[in-house]
Amino acid sequence: MNIELTQVSRWYGNVVAVNDVTMTIGPGVTGLLGPNGAGKSTLLHMMAGFLAPSTGTATLEGRPIWRNHQIYRSIGLVPEREAVYGFLTGWQFVLSSARLHRLPSPEDAAAKALAMVEMEGAKDRRIETYSKGMRQRVKVAAALVHEPQVLLLDEPFNGMDPRQRLHLMDLVTELGAAGRTILFSSHILEEVERVAQQIEVLVAGRHAASGDFREIRRRMTDRPHLFRVRSSDDRRLAAALIADASSGAVSLSEAGLEVQAVDFRRFTWLLPRVARDAGVTVWQLSPADEDLESVFSYLISRSTR
Amino acid sequence: MNAVVAGITYRAVLGRRRVLLLILLPLVLLGLAVLLRAVGSTDERAVVTLMQVYAIGTMLPLLGLIAGTGTIAPEIDDGTIMHLLSKPISRPVIAVTKFAVSASLLAVFAAVPTFVAGYLLLRGEAGIAAGFALGALIGGIAYSAVFLLLGVITRHAVTIGVVYAVVWESLVGGLVPGARNFSIQQWAQTFAGQLTSTDFFKPTVTMGFAVPAVLIVTIGAVVWAGQRLRVLSLTGDE
Amino acid sequence: MSEAVPAPAPAQPIGVIHDIGYRHYEGARLGRGHAFAALTLHSLRGVFGLGRTARAKIMPFVLFGVMMLPAAVSIAAMALIQRQAMTYPSYAVVMQPVLAVFLAAQSPYLVAPDLRFRVLPLYLSRPIATADYVAAKLAAMAAALFLLIAVPLTTLYIGELLVDLPGPPHSGEYFAALATSVVFAVLLACAGVALASFTPRRGLGVAAVIAVYLLASAISGVLVGVFESISRDEAAAWAWLINPFFLVDAVQVWLFGTPPNNDGGYPPGVGGPVAAAGVLAIIALSVAALLLRYRKAASS
């Protein structure tokens, strides 16, 4: 199932939280990435039917999401706020979710969902005695109880310990591989990088980038690239490279050379020639900052400039 | 009406410190009734005073405030309402269910004790026990609807409810005769007057006004609350 | 990490602490007294919504305006028809619903958010003790209530002096009412804050405080009505004291000899001292409850 946003904006008074965003979230795992205050929650709330777009439309398979409670048959929502009914046990909470969905056999569905998040052991304790990570897992179980085609998670990994985090990541990956549409928001790059095939980057309310993050990185040719070079004579190569305007900075260490290329295209053209002319053999050339973090900090610095 | 929503709501309202207030107020009514019996003051006039000033004038609006806002305002406040709203249940159904929970609580904690206190003092004399119990029941229904609506439309439901109950109903209603027409307390007394036959009690609002007023206010408030719930946006703390 | 990146292992572990411009505070530290004063002032401002959102200012200022109304009307009456419309000793008693609503609406603000968001340990990690915290909150609420009563009283008095009614000004009554307003402020603040501190939910706190006031006032009203109807006037006179506002009024009558503001007066003889003892008992009980409550809250 696809969630489609078409030219969606949302403002609160004079503050624009989401600005003219058009995106389609399809099957698989999508990460919604952005710094705090970028409008991730606002966007997610509009996809979940808890907020009306000020302009534009948000639809699920062509059906409008706002003021349409039928969409919850296909959507599971894990809200960010920790609050759940503390006086219910985990079992009662997930069971109530199954009953509210009018599932044919709510007990079986609840047991299955609790097993999926490995919460069978603590299911008979009241939720107020749970740790943050356990609450998060129970919320995930309640959202999964009706096996929704679409799962929306707002900062799902917050407050989980590393083992629980890995477990939930695996679960999300599995569900995505099974063809469900999964969207989760996060400001932690490592999480997104690890789970999501597709990222949507939101910066200051604007849809800054979308797609596979390596692909996004490749498109950003107007920024300095950092390369690691190992060669037969690093010092000599460094001297030769810095002489050209395409290198911004070159640093030399025991691990090799780090070159900041200001002009990407010229640098890739230049390096082999410079090495040949200097009589240096290049053993290894690798991009040093191809991870999501550097992509992200680039996007942020560009839009706030 | 939805049984799961009702079950969760009952547990939320009755499971916390809120229930202490729900019990304390009718207990005081019964205590006062016992006291009046002990000092031998069981004439109609004294009992009407007790019913008018305490049962209808103080206990009912307070219980309405606690039960009516308590069924929904805390859940909106801390975001737990999301659990109910993110389900394929129409939001007006949720509002109606919450209203029914609050009204049933008021029947138990306000109307029943009112009848018991009246019966303790007068038995069936002049229909005072039954009359005021009916008044408390009808008033409780109207208060439930109004305070539920307040709980949905504002984060300061209790404070505004207090101002309505204390300032409008007691002060303005007491001083400005015309304002009495727009007071749930007065409507409750009108219904009470239908069953009573005593010289010491004369409701100021006519039945012809009170019946449509209760109907319009109750239905209007519940419907409005349901519509507001459909467009409820939950954004952060405070 | 992307697969294209080989991890070049550094020869030695490298650690860097960046200088991000953090500076130590090297000035004088002002200590407990100042911390107490700061918390009191902050809380007092907060009660009137200062330093909070515009919406938080509506309630306190509307109620303040309502408190000023009788003073304004009375000054106008003195100027136009040369008569006092409102006497000083009756001011707080007549305006009791307004004071009660103010107390109910604002005392949960003082204590509930700190409990709800569990920030008490943050306060207590400063040179401030549990008792200081409680005292600061009480002082702030008492000061707010005192202002709420004393400002209209003083306005009225200045008005009376300016209008210059025939006969001497009612200075005695003014100062008696001013002294009594201190009693009102302390009693109401202690009771209101103590009640509000038992729940971290603001709404329930508001309901609890107003419920206790309405309860006391209704019980008192019912009993007075009933006792008067069976001509037991002395019992009725005692029943008035269940309402905290008439309790303080009885103290005022006893101390300053002002006319009582209820119908029928208070119990003669021991009535005054008993009322004063009642006021002190409520204050002591509330403060004890608060200290107990916060000893528990501070450790959780």
Q: Report pLDDT for A292.
A: 59
Q: What is the DSSP letter of A127?
A: G
Q: Total domain count for chain A?
A: 2
Q: Which residue of B has its CA nearest to C53?
A: B238
In the beta sheet, which residues pair with residue A16?
A: A11
Q: Are residues A20 and A142 in the same domain?
A: yes
Say which of C4, C9, C11 has its CB closest to residue A287: C4
Cα separation values, B94 from A45, B67, C166, C223, Å = 20, 16, 66, 42
**Residue holding tokens 């200001």?**
A262
Q: Do A290 and C11 touch (CB under 8 A)?
A: no
Q: Tell me: the pLDDT tens digits for C111-166?
A: 998 888 888 888 888 788 889 999 999 999 999 999 999 999 999 999 999 888 78
- B159 chain-C contacts, CB cut-off 8 A: 59, 104-105, 203, 206
State which residues form the domain around B84. Answer: 3-230
Phi, psi dihedrals of residue A54, rounded to the nearest 5°: -70, -40
Q: Tell me: the pLDDT tens digits for C221-255?
A: 889 988 888 888 888 999 999 999 999 999 999 99
pLDDT band for A293, please (50, 70, 90 cuts). low
Distance of CA A248 to the CA centre of its chain: 31
Average pLDDT of the residues in C257-264? 87
- B24 chain-C contacts, CB cut-off 8 A: 211, 215
The domain that holds A67 is classified in CATH as 3.40.50.300
pLDDT band for C4, please (50, 70, 90 cuts). very low
CA-nearest of C290, C259, C115, C281 to C192 is: C290
Q: Report pLDDT for A150.
A: 95
Q: Are residues A234 and A113 in the same domain?
A: no
Q: Are residues A183 and A138 in the same domain?
A: yes
Q: Which of A183, A218, A253 is the last residue of a domain?
A: A218
Task: Tell me chain A's radius of gyration from C-alpha atoms.
Answer: 24
Q: Are residues A266 and A244 in the same domain?
A: yes
SS3 C126: coil
Q: What is the DSSP letter of A126?
A: B
Q: Cβ neighbours of residue C69 under 8 Å, at least 6 residues apart?
A: none
Interface residues of chain A, partner chain B, Cβ below 8 Å: 45, 48-52, 67, 69-73, 75, 77, 79, 81, 83-85, 87-88, 93, 96-97, 99-102, 142-143
- B233 chain-A contacts, CB cut-off 8 A: 45, 50-52
Residues (pLDDT < 50) of chain B are 236-238
Q: Which residue of C has its CA nearest to A212?
A: C2
Residue C61: pLDDT above 90? yes
Q: Are residues A157 and A237 in the same domain?
A: no
Say which of B11, B88, B90 has its CB closest to residue A73: B88
Q: Are residues A292 and A170 in the same domain?
A: no
Please calculate the CA angle A242-A248-A253 and round it to the nearest 5 degrees.
Answer: 65
Whether B236 is in a domain gets the answer no
Q: Do C219 and B21 touch (CB under 8 A)?
A: no
Cα separation values, C257 from A127, A232, C72, C274, C276, Å = 60, 106, 26, 16, 14
Q: Do residues A236 and A281 make contact, with C-beta atoms less than 8 angstroms apart?
A: no
Q: Do A256 and C8 touch (CB under 8 A)?
A: yes
Average pLDDT of the residues in C274-284? 95
In the beta sheet, which residues pair with residue A182?
A: A29, A151
Residue C47: pLDDT above 50? yes
Q: Which of A193, A218, A243 is the last residue of a domain?
A: A218
SS3 C138: helix
| DSSP labels, A207-264 | EEEEE-HHHHHHH-TTS-EEEEEEES-HHHHHHHHHTSTTEEEEEEETTEEEEEESSH
Other chains touching B, judged by 3 or more CB pairs under 8 Å:
A, C
Q: Are residues A24 and A148 in the same domain?
A: yes
Q: Total domain count for chain B?
A: 1
- C6 chain-A contacts, CB cut-off 8 A: 284, 286
Q: What is the token pair recorded at A199?
A: 């990222």
CA-nearest of A85, C215, C191, C297 to B20 is: C215
Q: What is the token pair recorded at C159?
A: 């008005």
The domain that holds A247 is classified in CATH as 3.30.70.100
The bridge status of strand A3-12 relative to strand A15-25 is: antiparallel
Q: How far away is chain C from the Cα of B70, in angstroms, using its nearest Cα?
A: 8
Q: Do C227 and B170 touch (CB under 8 A)?
A: no
Q: Do A288 and C5 touch (CB under 8 A)?
A: yes
Q: Report pLDDT for A234.
A: 86
SS (H, E, C) C53-122: CHHHHHHHHHHHHHHHHHHHHHHHHHHHHCCCCCCCCCHHHHCHHHHHHHHHHHHHHHHHHHHHCCCHHH
Q: What is the token pair recorded at C26?
A: 């090297």
Is residue A105 packed enough to be buried (19+ CB in 10 Å), middle (13-18) or exposed (0-12)?
A: exposed
**Residue holding tokens 């049984």?**
B3
Phi, psi dihedrals of residue B60, rounded to the nearest 5°: -60, -50
Q: Report pLDDT for C178.
A: 94
Task: Provide the phi-psi class of A42: left if phi over 0, else alpha when psi is between -120 and 50, else beta.
Answer: alpha
Q: Cβ neighbours of residue B98 under 8 Å, at least 6 residues apart?
A: B5, B9, B71, B72, B148
Q: Do A286 and C1 touch (CB under 8 A)?
A: no
- C4 chain-A contacts, CB cut-off 8 A: 286-287, 290
Say which of A49, A84, A87 has its CB closest to residue B83: A84
Q: Do A286 and C2 touch (CB under 8 A)?
A: no
Average pLDDT of the residues in A267-296? 78
Residue C288: pLDDT above 90? yes
Q: Tell me: the pLDDT tens digits for A113-137?
A: 999 998 999 999 999 999 888 899 9
Q: Report pLDDT for C21.
A: 66
CA-nearest of B76, B111, B116 to B232 is: B76
Q: Which of A176, A195, A218 is the last residue of a domain?
A: A218
Q: Are residues A159 and A293 in the same domain?
A: no
Q: How far away is chain C from the Cα of B14, in angstroms, using its nearest Cα?
A: 13
Say which of C1, C5, C10 has its CB closest to residue A286: C5
Q: Are residues A65 and A186 in the same domain?
A: yes
Q: Are residues A271 and A184 in the same domain?
A: no
Which element (helix H / strand E) includes C189? helix C171-196
Q: Which residue of A has its CA nearest to C1?
A: A291
Residue C92: pLDDT above 50? yes
- B167 chain-C contacts, CB cut-off 8 A: 97-98, 101
Q: Report pLDDT for A241.
A: 85
- B74 chain-A contacts, CB cut-off 8 A: none
Q: Which residue of C has its CA nearest to A284?
A: C6
Residue C14: pLDDT above 70? no
Q: What is the dihedral of CA A184, A190, A195, A197, to 10 degrees?
A: 90
Q: Are residues A210 and A245 in the same domain?
A: no
Residue C33: pLDDT above 50? yes
Q: Do A100 and B85 touch (CB under 8 A)?
A: no
Q: In chain A, where do the E strands start and end?
A: 3-12, 15-25, 28-33, 55-60, 63-64, 75-78, 150-153, 181-186, 198-203, 206-211, 225-231, 247-253, 256-261, 282-287
Q: Do residues C206 and B66 make contact, with C-beta atoms less than 8 angstroms apart?
A: no
Q: Report pLDDT for C300.
A: 60
Query: What CA–CA distance (Å, rounded) separates C208 from C210?
Result: 6
Q: How far away is chain C from the Cα of B53, in angstroms, using its nearest Cα?
A: 6
Say which of B8, B86, B87 has its CB closest to residue A85: B8
Residue with the larger pLDDT of the pair C279 and C21: C279
Query: What CA–CA distance (Å, rounded) separates C267 from C239?
Result: 9
SS3 A186: strand
Quote ipTM for the complex: 0.89
Q: Are residues A146 and A279 in the same domain?
A: no
Q: Do residues B69 and B157 make contact, with C-beta atoms less than 8 angstroms apart?
A: yes
Q: How far away is chain C from the Cα of A128, in angstroms, using its nearest Cα?
A: 14
Query: What CA–CA distance (Å, rounded) separates A31 from A181?
Result: 11
Q: How far away is chain C from the Cα of B161, in angstroms, using its nearest Cα?
A: 9
Average pLDDT of the residues in C49-74? 90
Q: Report pLDDT for A204.
A: 81
Tell which of A51, A85, A151 to mutate to test the B interface (max B CBs under 10 Å).
Answer: A85
Residue C19: pLDDT above 90? no
Average pLDDT of the residues in A33-46? 86
**Residue holding tokens 């919504």?**
C49
Q: Tell me: the pLDDT tens digits for C177-197?
A: 999 999 999 999 999 999 999
- B90 chain-A contacts, CB cut-off 8 A: 69
Q: Report pLDDT for C11.
A: 55
Q: Report pLDDT for A224.
A: 66
Q: Report pLDDT for A283.
A: 86
Q: Do C10 and A286 touch (CB under 8 A)?
A: no
CA-nearest of C100, C108, C297 to C202 is: C108
Task: Provide the phi-psi class of A224: left if phi over 0, else alpha when psi is between -120 and 50, else beta.
Answer: beta
Q: How far away is chain A from the Cα of B74, in angstroms, using its nearest Cα?
A: 11
Q: Report pLDDT for C234.
A: 87
State which residues form the domain around A280. Answer: 221-303
Looking at chain B, list the stretches that DSSP marks H as alpha helix, in order from N- to C-terminal side: 3-14, 18-38, 44-49, 60-70, 73-78, 82-85, 91-106, 112-122, 128-153, 157-162, 173-175, 184-195, 207-230
Q: Report pLDDT for C229.
A: 81
Please state, as a whole number, how many other Cβ atoms lie within 10 Å of the Cβ of residue B26: 21
